[in-house]
Every structure is written in structure tokens, then in C-alpha cells.
Amino acid sequence: MGAVRTKKQTRMKRKMRIRKKISGTSDRPRLTVFRSLKNIYAQIIDDTDGHTLVSASSIEKWDVEGEGKPKFESKVDEAKHIGQVIGKRSIEKGIQQVVFDRNGYLYHGRVKAVSDGARESGLIF
């Protein structure tokens, strides 16, 4: 009999299996996604230096004409917006190409929406 694993332990095992193959360099950093039940976070990381170059999350206070955070119909729409924001910020910093790290999550729903938003804003991966 094997040990019973929680969902988090299973995801962490998947994450480590993926991370063995994926690494971000200074030429092509890693775009990683983390999702909690309420929020979504995205970072572009240079693994050689261990620095976060660009980040965006749904808990940021957006200043859209002085109104604060915009309202979204669903979490998927919000995730797509986060992808567009991180894509725009990375292009401003001169980052054109990234490696996408789904962080052990299925490429589906909010994780896919972040990548679609980032591709729409001009990131190549």
C-alpha cells in the first residue's frame, strides 16, 4: 500500500517533475503562474540570478482612471487580464520570449487564460 497524498502534495510532485525540465535564463526567463481560490498571480523569473523581473496579481490595486480595481464577470476573465498586464510589463522591460511554467496545475481554465492574455499582449512562448 502506498501513502495517501493530498491534492497539494500531488501538485507539488507534478511541479517538481516539470521544474526538472524547465528553467528560466536571462535570455528567456520563466513565466510562472500560481492560483489560489480567490486570486491569481504571475511572475517572470530569471532562475540563473534567482530574481523576479516582472510580476502581476489580482490583488494589486489598479488605477483605472482613479477607480481602483476593475470588476470582472469571472475569475477566468480576471486571469486573462493578469496575463495581458504581465505581458505588457515584460515588453516594457525588454523581455520578448519566456518559458511558460504551469506550476503543476492543469493547462486549463485560469492558467490557460493567463497564457492566452500574455500571448495576446506580445509575449512569445
Print the domain residue range for 71. 7-120
Task: Give me the pLDDT at residue 65, please.
Answer: 52
Look at the chain and report how many structural domains it folds into. Answer: 1
For residue 74, is it within any domain?
yes
- Domain containing 12 — which CATH number? 3.30.420.100
CB 121 within 8 A of CB 91: yes
Specify the pLDDT at position 67. Answer: 61
Flag whether 25 is in a domain. Answer: yes
pLDDT at 115 over 90: yes
Report yes or no on 91 lying in a domain. Answer: yes
Domain contains 71: yes
Nine-digit cell string for 48: 540563473
pLDDT of residue 72: 87
Flag whether 45 is in a domain. Answer: yes
pTM of the model: 0.87
User: What pLDDT score was predicted for residue 4?
Assistant: 87
> What are the respective helix, strand and coil percentages of the chain, to the nearest 5?
35, 20, 45
Confidence of residue 47 (pLDDT cuts 50, 70, 90): very high
Helix (H) / strand (E) element for 32: namely: strand 30-35
